[in-house]
Amino acid sequence: MQEYIINGLLIVVALLAVILQIIGMRPSAGMTKKQKVMLWRILTATVLLLILQVLGAGAFEVFGSAGRWVRLAVFLVDYLVIGYDILKKAGKGIRNGQVFDEHFLMAVATLGALALAVYENGDYLEAIAVMLFYQVGEWFQSYAVGKSRRNISDLMDIRPDYANIEREGKLEQVDPDEVGIGTIIVVQPGEKVPIDGTVVKGESTLNTAALTGESLPREVKTGDEIISGCINMTGLLHIQTTKEFGESTVSKILDLVENASSRKSKSEDFISRFAKIYTPAVCYAALALAVLPPLVRMFAMGLDAGWETWIYRALTFLVASCPCALVISIPLSFFAGIGGASKAGVLVKGSNYLETLSQAKIVVFDKTGTLTQGVFEVNAIHHNEMDERKLVEYAALAESASSHPISKSLQKAYGMEIDRSRVTNIQELSGNGVIATVDDHQVAAGNDKLMNRLGVQAIPCHSVGTIIHMAIDGKYAGHIVISDIVKPHSKEAIQTLKSAGVRKTVMLTGDAKKVADSVASALGLDEVYSELLPADKVEKVEQLIQNKPEKEKLAFVGDGINDAPVLRRADIGIAMGAMGSDAAIEAADVVLMDDDPMQISKAIKISRKCLGIVYQNIVVAIGVKLVCLVLVALGFANMWLAVFADVGVMIIAVLNAIRALFVKNL
C-alpha cells in the first residue's frame, strides 16, 4: 500500500513541477494568484511527506519517549499545510447550518484516519495522502474553470476601454459611458468600435471575428451603420453614435453571456437536488457502518467488536462517497459549452436553453433574412397606361414610412431622395399593404388582398416573386415584381440539419404561395406555409408543437426583428444574423451573430456535444461511486481505492468537461 501511495506522490510532484515550469516560462498560460499559491502548497506538502517517509519512524527515536509525539506534530504540520482551508470551510459550514458538503466529508475522514493512526501508533501517510490528492483534484478543477472563463474572456475582449472624441484638433480618450447619442467619435486603425453608430466620414475594413466567430472582414463606408465590438483594421473612421454605450450591441452581448450561468438546466437542477439528499444519506450510512456491525458482532454473535476495522471502513466510505465529480463537472460542462459556443459566435442565454436545443427535432424557419438574403430587388415592372418610372415613384413614396425590406427595394429602384412632404394619410394594413395620399392622389400598393379590399380588379402575374399591385385613385395601374435571393449555404444547411438528426424542416412566410413553394422546393424543405400574418405564424407554430411527440423540441429560426412573438412561443427561439438587432437579443434564447444558416446546425451540434459530455460524466461518476461504496462497505476496498473514487473520477470528469470548449470542427 505504501509503495503505491509513494509512487503516486512522486508522479504528482513530477506532474506539478512540469506544470509550474511551464507556467513560469509562460505567464500568459493563465494561472491566478490563488492557483499558484495552491500549487506551491501541494508541492510543499508532497515533498515534506516524501521526506518524512524516507526518514521513517526511526529518525524520531532520538527524542526518546517523546519521539512519537514529535513525529505526530511534524505530520500535523504537513496536514495543515495541505488541508487547513478544507478544515476552515468545514467549520464555516457547520456554523452556518450547512453541514453536509464535500469539505465536511473530507475533514471527518482525514481527521478520523489521523485519530486512528494515533490510537494504533500507526502510519499517518494515508490520511495526509487522501487530503493531498483531494487538493490536487480541486486544483485541476479550478484550473479547468479558469480555462473556460478565459474562453469567455476572449469574447469579453470586445468590451471597449475608451472612446476617442476630437476636441480642439486633438483626440481625447473618454469613458464610453460618458458619450451621448449624436456624438462624433473617432476610431483609429487597430482600435475597437466602442458604440453603435453611423459612419459620417472615412472608409475601412472591420474585423468582426469577436462577434461572429468568423474572420471574414467587412467593408464600411460613409453612410453605413456600424456596431460596437468590431475592430477597425485599416482606415480612420468618424462615427456618429446612435445609441448610448449601455444600450449598444457590445453591452447587450456582454450582459447576455455574463448572465448565462444564472439559468440552470434540468440536469444541473437534478444534480443540486441529488447532492442535497445524497450527502446526508452517505454520512448517516457511514455512521451506521461504524456502529451497527460492531454492535451486532458483540451482542448477537459474541465476537470481538473490531471497532478500529469498522471505523476505518466508515472513514473510507466517506472519502469514496464525496460527490465532487458530479457537483463540479456538470456545471463546468455547461459552462464550457456556453464558452465554446460564444467563441464560435453562438450566444446561448443559459444552460437550460443549451439542453433544450440539443433535443430539437423540428426546425421551423422564417424565410426572409433567414434562408434568403432579405435583399429585395425590383426585377420587373408591368404597367397599364401609366409611365413605368411614375409607377415606381408612386410606390416608393407610398411605402416611404415603412422599414420593410420591400419598401427599401422600391426606394432603391426609385433612386432619388424621398420628399415625405408629398405623402399624407398613410395607412399600413398588416398582411395587405399600404394606402397613402401622394400628390393628392390615393395610392394603394400591396397584394391581391388589398386590391380585393378596394374592389379593384388586379391583373395576375406569372412571375415568381413578390408582386406589388398598384391602384391610383381606385383604378388599377400595374404591378411591380420584387424577388429575394436565397443565401448561398441555405440548401447545404438544411441537408446538414437532417444529417444531424433533425426530423422535420418547415418554412413559414408571408410571401405568396408561388414564391414560397419555389424557395422550399429549391432548398429541400419538408413543409411550407405561405401568406401568413405574424399572428398566423404563432398559431402555426402552436399547431406544430401540439402535434409533435412530447420529448421532441421545436426550434424557430428568425431574423429577430419582426419574429419576436414566434421566437418566444417556440420551445427554443434562435435569432440569426443578429448583430445590432436589439429585438433578436431580447426575444431569442439563442443568438447567432452571423447570418450564415450553417451556424444553425453548428449550434445544435455544440449543444448535443455538451449534453453528451454531461451524461457521460453523470453515468461514470455515479457508477464508479456506487461500485466503490459497495466494495468499501464489504471490506474489499481500502482508502487508496476511495481516493480514486473521489479525486480520480473528479479529474477524469473535469478533463472530459473541458472537451465542451472545443467546437471549431463541429
Residue positions annotated with a catalytic role:
366
Going by C-beta distance under 8 Å and a sequence separation of 6 or more, which residues neighbour residue 89? 103
Single out the residue of 229, 164, 235 nearest to residue 202, CA to CA: 235
Query: Would you say 476 and 384 are in contact if contact means Cβ atoms under 8 Å apart?
Result: yes
Helix (H, G, I), strand (E, B) or coil at 576: strand
Three-state SS letters, 294-346: HHHHHHCCCCCCCHHHHHHHHHHHHHHHCCHHHHHHHHHHHHHHHHHHHHCCE
Which single residue is written with the C-alpha cell 461511486?
625
Q: For residue 400, give Cα distances in angstroms to 258, 381, 388, 394, 434.
A: 40, 19, 18, 10, 10
Residue 440 CB-half CA count within 13 A: 0
How far apart (Å, rounded) are the C-alpha atoms in residues 250 and 627? Answer: 49
How far apart (Å, rounded) are the C-alpha atoms in residues 282 and 187? Answer: 61
Single out the residue of 564, 589, 576 nearest to residue 211, CA to CA: 576
How far apart (Å, rounded) are the C-alpha atoms in residues 525 and 507? Answer: 7
Cell numbers describing residue 394: 408612386
| Burial zone of 402 (CB within 10 Å; 0-12 exposed, 13-18 middle, 19+ buried) | middle
| Burial zone of 492 (CB within 10 Å; 0-12 exposed, 13-18 middle, 19+ buried) | middle
Cell numbers describing residue 118: 494515533
Single out the residue of 468, 505, 487 nearest to residue 559, CA to CA: 487
